[in-house]
Chain A
């Protein structure tokens, strides 16, 4: 089975812009979770989608949003980018529950200038 894929792998944006990141889960997986990883804050949960519905949400501002499509692919969007949004954004997929084994993708490295 192919693993979790994320596109793009690297992205450079400027403050105020918006960005959309994409995640394709492992075939058959219905749960997709997004995390932000930074050296200072570690791995922080953004949100989880299951069957096109947001099932869990972390403590991030409304500038961070996501969605899931009927084929389980997911996108996350960050609007009005700030310098502090520079991070590695990781997507993880699992079968039915976020507590099932989560398989992480390689991440998208976002740099905001």
Chain B
């Protein structure tokens, strides 16, 4: 119930392509779904977040798609760039509760 399942574990995309990372959850009490980006040697940094009252949120090249009935959400990175190469984590939480993180996706974007 508390898990967030993330896939794929690793992803290789060519520059200019679309990167898609998926997450699924079980706990319907979750109401906050952030995505974090982590570069080697750094702590994770918030990329974009969504709440279940909307089905999509876009910030620049990054889009979260949220499917409440399927209990799934995904991160789409449009026009992927080598600088996007990093590890991406989805997460979820209930109100005032801790963040539960997915296992991470290592994205490599090749020129």
Which A residues are closer than 8 A to B by beta carbons? 4, 33, 35, 42-45, 48, 55-56, 58, 90, 92, 97-99, 101-107
**Contacting pair A98 B98 (CB below 8 A):** yes
Q: Which of B32, B44, B49 contacts A104 (CB 8 A)?
A: B44
Closest Cβ of chain A: how far from B46's Cβ, in Å? Answer: 5
Main SS class of interface, B: loop
Is B53 among interface residues, defined by CB-CB distance under 8 A? no
With the chains together, A43 CA to B43 CA distance in Å? Answer: 11
Q: Are A106 and B42 in contact (CB under 8 A)?
A: yes
Q: Determine if A43 and B97 form an interchain contact, defined as CB atoms under 8 angstroms apart.
A: no
* Interface positions of B from 1 to 60, Cβ below 8 Å from A: 32, 34, 36, 41-46, 49
Which one of B41, B44, B45, B95 lies within 8 Å of A99 (CB-CB)? Answer: B95
Number of A-B contacts (CB under 8 A): 54
Q: Which 5 A-B pairs have the closest CB atoms?
A: A104-B43, A43-B101, A45-B98, A42-B103, A56-B98
Docked Cα-Cα span, A43 to B103, in Å, equals 7
Q: Which residue of A lies closest to B6 (CB)?
A: A42
Say yes or no for B65: interface residue by CB 8 A criterion.
no
The answer on a CB contact under 8 Å between A99 and B93 is: yes
* Interface residue B86 (Cβ < 8 Å from any Cβ of A): no
Out of B43, B95, B100, B104, name the residue touching A90 (CB < 8 Å). B43
Given contacts A42-B104, A43-B89, whether A99 and B43 have CB atoms under 8 Å apart is no
A42 touches B101 (CB 8 A): yes
